[in-house]
Structure 1
Amino acid sequence: MSKKIHSTVDNLQVLFEDNHIIVVNKRPGDIVQGDKTGDKPLSETVKAFLKKKYNKPGNVYLGVVHRLDRPTSGIVLFAKTSKALPRLNKLFAEKSANKTYWAIVKNAPTEPEKRLVHYMKRNTKQNKSYANIKEVPDSKKAILTYKIIKKLDRYFLLEVDLETGRHHQIRSQLSSIGSPIKGDLKYGFNRSNEDGSIHLHARKLRFIHPVKKEPIEIIAPPPNDPIWNACL
């Protein structure tokens, strides 16, 4: 039986944990893996949490399965065992994990619900991806489906289901239809959020447990701010 936990320890919100996996709710601003900034990554925070919780001597095993952009919040899944990691990697590579995001935009899309298909081309110097209607050299197909699920005072809440997982995919595709995400200066929103975050949240993750073969569904509460709170 999987052990479900909803707790916050050392600023780490654990959504689910059992012997093989741990799922946490990433705060905007946290990086999942180490990068050139040298800031402490979320993976190290989770390792420290497990080491302390189980009083483990030596190094703690933790496998990074997927990432979220730094200004984004929400679900991040880690493997706790070397048995689980390759199985989870395969699950994500084969697009067998279903990922749903929430995005807050100021400009409503022209259609309340639509499947978007673009060809993404990444510019590594700019750390930015461009969504093209037609295939261009070195581009990758990107597909998502959005729908407007709530109208706020000045914004709209979109629910986004990903079919592919491209670099900055949701940010670029929504921007390309005139609905950049709140706070996302890189993709055309007119003003940044004070904390440097963007209003994009990995809300739901559904997958088959890599060892127990049971269906798992995780839902992450969005960050505690007035606009996200208005969505609940």
Structure 2
Amino acid sequence: MTQNELTRHEHAQPNIPVLYEDNHVLAVVKPVNVPTQEDASGDPDLLSLLKEDLKIRHNKPGNVFLGLVHRLDRPVGGAMIFAKTSKAASRLSESVRSRHFHKLYTAVLNGVPTAPQGRLTHYLLKDSRTNTVQAVRPGTAGAKEAILEYRMIGQADGLSLVQIKLHTGRSHQIRVQMQAIGCPLYGDQKYGGNLSRPGQQLALWSLLAGAPHPVSKDDMRFHSLPPVQFPWNEWPRSLYENMITSEI
């Protein structure tokens, strides 16, 4: 599916750009600090906002179906794909399970990884009471395997810009795995320790989300660049564009 074939709309909401929409799929840019789905905060969440927008734009009575097939942490922004029918939701969810769902991220790290490129495998255990995750020993009860690949793209003033490809979709995976190798993400208030300052925005962005189209089976790839602000603006925009076209 080429970019020219994509149906584009200006906005679903004033701050939620729509990347693509057809009868089966909706791809958007998730704003930072908006929960993906309803949570204990009671703040407006992306799923509810998009459902309301679809209801208004398409003049639909009653409840609107919109399937959540993958998630981004609240502080994270970037490309996301939703399903507009239950069949699409089932097929996209299967793409996630079978690892045919593409997830490409960029992040700014505190410090510099020992290896400029690598594949990380950890076992992560989530504490639902505190909504925190930690890397634990293999075989720990309840722990799930987490795998990612990263490549360092640039450095600036003690920070590193990296490209990350996820092979699994564990809760807080990138944040915890990078912390585990001694390079927590810039602005990570949960896992950054004394390297993060109050008010700093987590520097993690979903550059690309993609999967086989649930009906046509065409390869879908939707991308979004991080905002032009610190620390992202420490590097030229061309680096982010190159990451999208030259995956790990």
Q: What TM-score, normalized by structure 2, do the two folds share?
A: 0.86
Partner residue, 1:157: 161
Distance 1:124 1:58, change over 3 A: closer
Q: How far apart, in 1, do the equivalents of 2:209 and 2:14 lie? A: 24
Residue 89 of structure 1: CA displacement?
1.1
Partner residue, 1:179: 183
Residue 125 of structure 1: CA displacement?
2.2
Partner residue, 1:219: 223
DSSP-derived class of the 2:17 partner: strand
Partner residue, 1:130: 134
Distance 1:197 1:121, change over 3 A: same
Q: How far apart, in 2, do the equivalents of 1:50 and 1:171 lie? A: 32
Partner residue, 1:36: 40
Structure 2 stretches of 5 or more lacking a match?
238-248
Q: How far apart, in 1, do the equivalents of 2:214 and 2:191 lie? A: 36
Identity %: 39
Q: How far apart, in 1, do the equivalents of 2:197 and 2:227 lie? A: 16
Question: How do residues 104-119 of structure 1 correspond to structure 2 at under 5 angstroms?
Answer: 104-119=108-123
Instruction: Tell me the C-alpha RMSD between the 2 structures.
Output: 1.8
Partner residue, 1:3: 6
Paired residues of 1:182 and 1:192 also in contact (CA < 8 A):
no
Partner residue, 2:246: none
Distance 1:137 1:19, change over 3 A: same
Distance 1:108 1:6, change over 3 A: farther
Residue 90 of structure 1: CA displacement?
1.1
Partner residue, 1:59: 63
Is 1:191 the counterpart of 2:196? The answer is yes
DSSP-derived class of the 2:231 partner: helix
Residue 197 of structure 1: CA displacement?
3.3
DSSP-derived class of the 1:156 partner: strand
Find runs of 4+ consecutive structure 1 residues off by over 6 angstroms: none
Structure 1 stretches of 5 or more lacking a match?
none
DSSP-derived class of the 1:119 partner: strand
Paired residues of 2:81 and 2:209 also in contact (CA < 8 A):
no
Give 1 or 2: higher helix fraction: 2
DSSP-derived class of the 2:134 partner: strand
Partner residue, 2:241: none
Deviates more, 1:196-205 or 1:155-164: 196-205
Deviates more, 1:144-153 or 1:176-185: 144-153
Paired residues of 1:104 and 1:158 also in contact (CA < 8 A):
yes
Q: Deviations over 1:47-103 (max 9, x none)?
A: 122222223233222111111111111122111112211111111122110111111
DSSP-derived class of the 1:47 partner: helix
DSSP-derived class of the 2:104 partner: strand
Q: How far apart, in 2, do the equivalents of 1:229 and 1:7 lie? A: 25
